[in-house]
Homo-oligomer: A and B are copies of this chain.
Amino acid sequence: MKYKLKCITCEKIYEPKEDFYFCPECGERFGTLEVIYDYDNLNIKKEDFSKEKGMFQFEKLLPVSSHTRFDEYIGATPLIEFNDLLGINKVLIKYDGTNFSASYKDRASIIAINKAIEEKKDTIFCASTGNAATSLAMLSASTNLKTYIFVPNTIPIGKRLQLEVSGATILAIEGNYDQAFDLSMEIGLKKGWYLRNSAINPYLLEGKKTGAFEVIVQNNYEDIDYLFVSVGDGTVVSALYKGFYEFKKLKLISKIPKIIGVQSEGLDAVKRTFEQGAPYAPVDIEGTTIADSIAVGMPRDVIKACKYVEASNGKFITVSDIKIKEAIFELGKSTGIFAEPAGAITYGGFKKMVELNEINKNDKVCLVITGNGLKDPDVLKNDIENGFIEIDEVRRRFK
């Protein structure tokens, strides 16, 4: 195998094998595994990569060998530069709302599907706040895999329709994401289905790290000082750190940005865990937020998220639901990007740190926007300011 698995807590090294997802000695929560490669012998050069190619151009750093028809179309999302956003001279926005299912989660789902096919599974499952589920359901629809989706019944209409249309079996439970997660693990592992839960299956983070690789390549390997991203379970923030870490280890970049994980004020379990300091012990909470994609009270990848953000000299911050809504409109007006709440919160966190003078105008900043606003129209339906207008009234206005 070109890679091995290392426990995030006890650091024991394992050989990959089927149905092996976490360190049996440290358990599901503390024993999340990292995929490690033989970095010294990978022979990776800047010239291997292009700004336009999708995530599978990084295949030497991905734990897969099979391929599906969608592989070449995942990733290669825009990195758009703004030169005076809130007074900061260089702000790069990585916008994954243009991915196939309109979220960052495609990067993980496509890995899961390839692994499931490699392991000759006939069924795949996931628990999700919504985006991981829709991504898996849509990307697996044209494969031979049967797909089971465990979601809270409160998922937004856009995501629900993506699931319905894809033909996956939807188990929309009367309960929250944390309950859907536990139920999925109970049933999926018993049945021997392939596990597409990013916080447990270490291979999925490998897909998610490609967002960092793309930022680096699209930004011409130049330094970035701060990278902001929203945090629910903790996997995307971990993955982004790992992407920068690996490219630094490979001497392709000289610096890892400070990673700023942005959580909702109402559900900030990762921040609370982080602020209690190492050795990290999960602080689980109950709460609510309009940012459904990060509505997580029992974050499953919390240990890794805290260790990685600490290693980057970053931190976790929170944004309130009211500020999330403001962020959606402000981001839209200044950039044209329409983000779902869990995408716009990243901008809200950036704005908060600018207002606190924690970011200088010459700092190079990257905001990762993980999902498209079209996924959750209902969250804004009471915020439509403009009604409609009679034709003659338009004529009068522009006489």
Chain A residues within CB distance 8 Å of chain B: 50, 52-54, 69-70, 73, 76, 78, 80-82, 98-100, 102, 137-142, 150, 153, 157-158, 160-162, 164-167, 170-175, 179, 183, 186-187, 190-191, 328-329, 331-338, 372-375, 377, 380-381, 383-391, 394-395, 398
Contacts and interface: CB of A to CB of B under 8 A. Distances in A.
Contacts of A158: 158, 374, 377
Contacts of A161: 338, 373-374, 377, 380, 384
Contact of A336 (B141, B187, B336, B387): B141
Contacts of A171: 389, 394
B52 A141 contact: no
Given A332-B141, A332-B165, A78 B82 contact: no
A129 B69 CA distance: 33
A172 B388 contact: yes
A165 B343 CA distance: 14
15 contacts: A69-B82, A98-B98, A98-B100, A137-B336, A141-B335, A141-B336, A158-B377, A162-B374, A164-B380, A164-B383, A166-B333, A173-B388, A173-B390, A174-B389, A187-B398
B78 A334 contact: no
Given A387-B172, A394-B171, A334 B141 contact: yes
B338 A165 contact: yes
A150 to B, nearest CB: 8
A52 B76 contact: yes
A336 B164 contact: no
Nearest to A83: B69
Nearest to A106: B98
A46 B50 CA distance: 19
B166 A338 contact: yes
Nearest to A334: B142
A164 B386 contact: yes
Contact of A395 (B170, B175, B183): B183
Q: Give the one of A50, A99, A170, A331 with max B CB within 10 A.
A: A170
A162 B375 CA distance: 11
A53 B53 CA distance: 8
A51 to B, nearest CB: 8
A165 B334 CA distance: 10
Contact of A183 (B70, B377, B394): B394
B69 A183 contact: no
Top 5 A-B residue pairs of the complex, sorted by shortest distance between their CB atoms: A165-B332, A153-B388, A141-B336, A167-B333, A374-B374
